[in-house]
Amino acid sequence: MIGCDLGSQSAKAVLMAANGDIVATGTSGYTMQHPHSGWADQDPADYRNAITRSVRAVMQRTGVPRSAITHIGFSSQVDGVVPIDSTHTPLRPAIIWLDRRGVAEVARLEQTIGEDTLFARTGLNLDASHTAPKYMWLRDNEPEVYSAALALPSVGSYAVAWLTGTVVQDHANSSSTLLYDVSARDWSNELIAAAGLDRSKLPEIKDASDVAGTLTLQAAEALGLTTACQVVVGTGDDHASCLGAGGIRPGVVIDIIGTAEPVGVASDKPVFDPTRVVETHAHATPGSYLIENPGFVSGGNTLWFAKNILGTDQSTFFSLASQSVPGANGVRFIPALSGSMTPRWNDRIRGAFSGLGMNHTSSDLARAILEGNAFAFRDIHDRLSAMGLARSVRAVGGGARSTLWLSAKATLCRTPIQRVTTSETSAAGGAILAAVAAGYFSTFEEAVESVVTLDPAIIEPDESAIAAYDDAYHEYRALFDAVEKIA
């Protein structure tokens, strides 16, 4: 089977054998466009082309006959929308998760139904990153698109519609819309009416491992597969990454360290955070939930500093950071280059350095960025721990390669951290959905045991650095409070 992940910057595919071994990976990149401040679009044709290239790459690298591929499972970026017409043709570029054009629509939702009611129904913060404000923006600003739209699927659901001709969406993607009752596990007529939207345009909801359909002839020819290949509904990338890292049982916190840094843990029931640092989402596995912070900009901070300030690559950035000391010689950084999602959600606040002196070097600033990201992780881990949901931590993504970064987190949170070594965990999560649908595994627990691999080396808290990190963390929180006042 094949697992395919539609991320923010690329499509990735993994070819998984029936026993759970990942035998090949492929990737194909694409870009995003920012036509106005706060907007973020992508061309749906790029999704189709990248899926095609990445799938064909894994097939060519292995020589597996196309008839051997029985199932495809998707993971994809959450909180996007691709309006499509009756032929499943996109009516405009995708509006993706990073887009915040729906601020005025958020204000109207707050007036219509209220932030507290929305949180009680959806488990979500009232925020322009979610998809209902984007639907409302389309209705108000591009009425011809909204009127012509047969459906308003997510990015991954659009891909499934293109491949199968069926418009369907899983509970995880649906639960991030502000239109889904997370306890009832269905669209909420009350919330849809409050938003002034048309329920008929919302995709049918099914479990992530349900089969959406088989490849159309056109899609099969594009991917180099057969029309017998079945496509499962698929799920969100955070949820798939947690699945691909083994995060399907309560207590196992998954830290996904990429451009953004989602942090989540599975739960067998909806749990609501009174501080609203973490949200309540449906998970990829049937009937379960993912309690998560969907991701502050994290690795994106390191890339920004490496590229725009240092004029170098991220490898040099991490090397520089290692030359400073715990506490970064007094330099502090607020990791809010695109707003904050912890310790409070605030889309107005922006990043800041503090404590700079003539004695400081680029190493101290680089270290401060890593530590600022680690402080934000502690904010989230503290909430999950206080809610009784955190017993262990697993790290995935490019940032998990940095022992320095993981050590800071382990020390701040007084918890061991273990790396997941499974290739491309988000795409692997999609492949796990396909494998369960195909019957290669009878349960998700069995699939996870077969697929997920862990680094035996565990990152333990550094007792010698606890005092320095704790002092720095408390200064960081005071700095956040001060910066937020002028945001």
Same domain, 330 and 206: no
Are 92 and 210 part of one and the same domain? yes
Domain, as residue range, for 471: 247-421+453-487
| pLDDT for the residue 98 | 87
Could you give the 3-state DSSP secondary structure of residue 5?
strand
As a whole number of angstroms, the distance between CA 21 and CA 28 comes to 22
pLDDT digits (tens, 9 = 90+) for 115-125: 999 999 999 99
Q: What percent of the chain has pLDDT over 70?
A: 100
This prediction has a pTM of 0.94
Any idea what the CATH number is for the domain that residue 227 is in?
A: 3.30.420.40
Do 261 and 146 fall into the same domain?
Answer: no
Looking at 205, 238, 271, which one is the last position of a domain?
Answer: 238
Based on the fold, state whether residues 304 and 338 are members of the same structural domain.
yes
Same domain, 208 and 330: no
- Contact (CB, 8 A) for 171 and 205: yes
The reply to whether 447 falls in a domain is no
Indicate whether 111 and 71 sit together in one domain.
Answer: yes
Q: What mean pLDDT is predicted for residues 224-237?
A: 98
Name the pLDDT band for 347 (thresholds 50, 70, 90).
Answer: confident
> Does residue 162 sit in the same domain as residue 36?
yes
Do 369 and 262 belong together in one domain? yes
What is the sign of the dihedral through the CA atoms of 108, 170, 73 and 300?
A: positive
Of the candidates 245, 257, 254, 252, the residue with the CA atom closest to the CA atom of residue 296: 257
Asked whether residue 194 falls in the same domain as residue 116, the answer is yes
Number of domains comprising the chain: 2
What mean pLDDT do residues 455-466 have? 97
- Report yes or no on 44 lying in a domain: yes
> Of 323, 320, 422, which Cα lies nearest the Cα of 21?
422
339 and 259 together in one domain: yes
Binned at pLDDT 50, 70 and 90, residue 286 comes out as very high
Per-residue pLDDT reduced to its tens digit, 193-217? 999 999 999 999 999 999 999 999 9
pLDDT band at residue 487 using 50, 70 and 90 as cut-offs: confident
Tell me if 231 is assigned to some domain.
yes
Helix/strand/coil (H, E, C) string of 230-254? EEECCEEHHHHHHHHCCCCCEEEEE
Q: Would 442 be classed as within a structural domain?
A: no
Residue finishing a domain among 238, 271, 289: 238
pLDDT of residue 16: 96
φ, ψ of residue 34 to 5 degrees: the values are: -130, 80
Q: Both 151 and 169 in a single domain?
A: yes
Q: Which residues contact residue 144 at a Cβ distance below 8 angstroms, ignoring those fewer than 6 apart?
A: none
Token digits of residue 39: 């907007």
Q: 189, 218, 238 — which closes off a domain?
A: 238
Mean pLDDT of 250-257: 96
Residue 429 belongs to some domain of the structure: no
> Do 229 and 290 fall within a single domain?
no
Nearest residue to 208 via CA among 264, 128, 290, 269: 290
Residue 388 lies in a domain: yes
| Domain presence at residue 118 | yes
Decide if 332 is inside a domain. Answer: yes
Q: What is the mean pLDDT of residues 337-362?
A: 94
Are 29 and 43 in contact by the 8 Å Cβ rule? The answer is no
Q: Give the position of tokens 């998954």.
A: 254
Q: Which of 379, 368, 394, 362 is nearest to 296 (CA)?
A: 379
For the chain, give the mean pLDDT: 96
Q: At what angle do helices 362-386 and 466-485 cross, to 10 degrees?
A: 90
